[in-house]
Amino acid sequence: MEKTKKAGKMFTSVSVGAATVWFSTHCGAGFASGTQELQYFTNHGWYGWILPVISIFIIAAIYYVGMETARQTDKWNYHAWSKEAYKPIGSLGSVLIEISIVVTTIAATAGCISAGANLGNQQFGWPMWVGSVLMFVIITVLCIFGEKVVRNNAMIMTVAIIAIVLIVLIAGVVKNSGTIAQLMREGYVNPEAAKWSITGAAGATTQGNFGNALLWALTYAGFQMAIIGGVSSSFKGAKSKRESKGAVILGFILNVVMLSGVCLLLFAGMPGIWENDAARTLPTLYMVNSLGIPALSVLYPILLFLALVTTGVGMTFGIVERLNPYILKRMKSEKARKSIISVLSLGVCWGVSLFGLLWVVQVAYKYLGIYNWIAMIIPLAIFGFANIKKRDKAKRTML
C-alpha cells in the first residue's frame, strides 16, 4: 500500500522543481522582452494568443521523453541519456543534441546581450555598445565567481518573474479589455505579418493567415528544444513515471498561461507595436509603460534585466563547464581557465549579438527551430517513446 501511495504522487519537490526550471529557462531574452511573442504569435492576429497551446504541448511531450528516459536509465547528463532515447541511432542522437545546445547557447546569450543593450538605450539613453559591454562584463564575472549565487537564487527569481508578469498581465488586460474585444470582433490579422519560409529573407511579410501562423508556432516549439538538457538534469531524484507526468503537466500549465497571457497583452497594442521600431524591439516594456503605473515602470525593467543576466549566465556557464575539461588542460588555475573560456565564448556571442535582437529571434531561432524538428522532435517522438515502453515492458517482465 505504501509503495502504491508513493508511486501515485505526481507533484513532488522534484517534479515541481523541474517545471520551475523549465519556465525560468524559457523566460529568457526573447520571452521577457516580448520579442518572441510578437514575432511568433501576436504578429499573426486574433488567433495568435491561442497557438502557444500547440507549441507548449509539443515541447512538453518531448521534455517528457528526456525526463522519463533519464529517470528510467539513471543517466542525467544529456549526452548519456540521449544515447538511450535515440536507440538504435544513439551515438548520432547525442551528436545532434550537442549541436543544438551549442547553437542555442550562442543564440540565446547573444539575444540577452542585445536585449540588455536595447534596454539601456531605451531606459537611460545609453549608446548600444555601452549596454553590450555592461552585459558582457556582468555575465563574465558571474560565470567566474558567482554561478552558485545565481543558481541558489533561481527559485526566488522565478517566483519574482511570475508575480510581476502576472500583475502586468492582469493590469494590462483589464485596462485594454475594450481594445482586445474590438480587435477580436474585427478578426484582426496583421496585413504585414512576418512570412514563414525556409529560405525567405528576414523582413519578408505576408497577408496574415492561419497556416503561416501555425508554421511560426511549430518553429517556436522547435527552437525551445535545447532546454531539454537542463530540464532533464534538474529532474534528478525522481522516483516514478507519475512524477515525469506531473512535471510536464505543471510546466505545460505554467508556460501556456504566461506565454498566452503576454501574447494577449501585446495583442492589445496592435497594430501600433508592429509599426513602432522601439516597441517592436522591447514590446512588453512598451506595454508596461503605457499602463501608467509608476511602480511597474520601475519594476519591470529591473525584472527584465535580471532575467537577461540570469539566462546569459546559465547558458554561458553551461558551455564553460562543457569545455573546461578539454581546453587549456595544462593551466593549473581553474579560475583562470574558466575566465578565458568565458571571455572567448562570450566574444562569439557578442559578435552574433551585433546583428540585433530581432535578427536573433527572427532568423537564428527560426533556423534552429527547423533543425531541432529534424534532429530532436521527430526522432525523439519516434524512438524516445518506443524505448520508454520497451523499458517499462522489460521491468514488468522482470517483476
Q: Is residue 150 part of a domain?
A: yes
Q: Is residue 2 part of a domain?
A: no
Task: Read off the C-alpha cell for 273.
Answer: 507595436
Task: Read off the C-alpha cell for 365.
Answer: 531561432
Q: Is residue 394 part of a domain?
A: no
Q: Is residue 399 part of a domain?
A: no
Q: What is the CATH number of the domain that holds 72?
A: 1.20.1740.10
Q: Is residue 395 part of a domain?
A: no
Q: Is residue 128 part of a domain?
A: yes
**What is the Cα Rg of the chain in Å?**
21
Q: Return the H-helix or E-strand segment holding 101.
A: helix 90-124
CB 131 within 8 A of CB 117: yes
Q: What is the pLDDT along the chain (399 residues), one digit of tens a residue?
A: 444 444 568 999 889 988 988 887 787 767 878 888 998 999 888 888 999 999 999 999 999 999 999 999 999 888 889 999 999 999 999 999 989 988 988 888 888 888 888 888 888 888 988 988 898 888 888 777 655 555 555 567 667 778 888 888 899 989 999 999 999 998 888 888 888 888 765 567 777 788 889 999 999 999 999 888 888 888 888 999 999 999 999 999 999 999 999 999 999 999 889 888 888 888 988 998 888 888 888 888 888 887 788 778 777 777 776 777 778 877 877 778 878 888 888 889 888 988 888 888 888 899 999 999 999 999 999 999 999 999 999 888 876
DSSP 285-316: HHHHHHTT-HHHHHHHHHHHHHHHHHHHHHHH
Q: Is residue 358 part of a domain?
A: yes
Q: Is residue 4 part of a domain?
A: no
Q: Return the H-helix or E-strand segment holding 222.
A: helix 210-223
CB 362 within 8 A of CB 48: no
Interior/surface letters 184-202, b for 16+ CB within 10 angstroms, e for the rest = eeeebbbeebbbbeeeeee
For 206, the 3-state DSSP assignment is strand
Expressed as residue numbers, the domain containing 101 is 11-385
Number of domains in the chain: 1
